[in-house]
Amino acid sequence: MDDILPRQPISVIVPAEAPSIESERLLLRPVTEADLPALFAIRSRPEVARSNHPKTPFSSIEQTREWITSKIFTSGNSDVMGRSFNYAILDKSLPETPLIGYVSINEVVPCPEIGYSLLPESWGKGFATEALQLMLKVWWGLPRRNWGDESEVERVFAISERGNVGSCKVLRKCGFKIEKEVDLEVDELFVWSLEKPR
């Protein structure tokens, strides 16, 4: 996927542990090892896998662990290396197993790229939009080192399938604009971008 994303210099300083975020309905907190079963329950669902990469449902907790590990930044400067920005989404109205999804900055090289998924039972309730807005507010608020060319606006990016109406709606509601359309093997994709608020 890196070859379809633009290159953007990184100036953000990612904390060793990202802060928790809360709204009236949701709690977002950094993903932990204890979340593996709940994340496996999401990533093992065929309807979730259809709009993720790879398109096959996860088949084990170990595969889920490897996927979580892949969210740790292995490229970039010393302000990001070895860190991650990966949040569990918890529905505060649920007394037991409230983890309903995740939202993250998947990578920072070649550019900051976001990802998210929810349990299908939580689709259509505005949770993905709300969680993404909460995460982006914290991301934009992180300290930065000098940002190279002042005329260049810092952005985050997302990739979605053209046919994934729900995800396209979430990204539009959060202010993302389509940067380009890409045909990648059998996938028809949108590459989205969002500028850092001034």
Nearest-CA neighbor of 87 among 177, 174, 22?
A: 22
Cα R_g (the chain), whole angstroms: 16
Q: What is the pLDDT of residue 9?
A: 85
Complete domains list, the chain, with CATH: 2-151 (3.40.630.30)
- Residue 2: per-residue pLDDT: 56
Closest CA to 180 of 165, 155, 195, 158: 158
pLDDT value of residue 144 = 92
- The residue among 2, 10, 28, 15 whose CA lies nearest residue 131 is 28
Any idea what DSSP says for residue 147? -
Residue type, 138: V
Bond preceding residue 57 cis, omega within 30 of 0: no
- What pLDDT was estimated at residue 47? 94
pLDDT in tens, the chain (198 residues): 557 899 998 889 999 989 999 999 999 999 999 999 999 999 999 999 998 877 899 999 999 999 999 999 999 889 999 999 999 999 999 988 899 999 999 999 999 999 999 999 999 999 999 999 999 999 999 999 876 666 678 999 999 999 999 999 999 999 999 999 998 777 789 999 999 998
Where would I find the beta strands (DSSP E) of 1-120?
Answer: 21-22, 26-30, 85-91, 99-107, 113-118
Q: How far apart are CA 20 and CA 86, in angstroms?
A: 11
pLDDT of 185 reads: 75
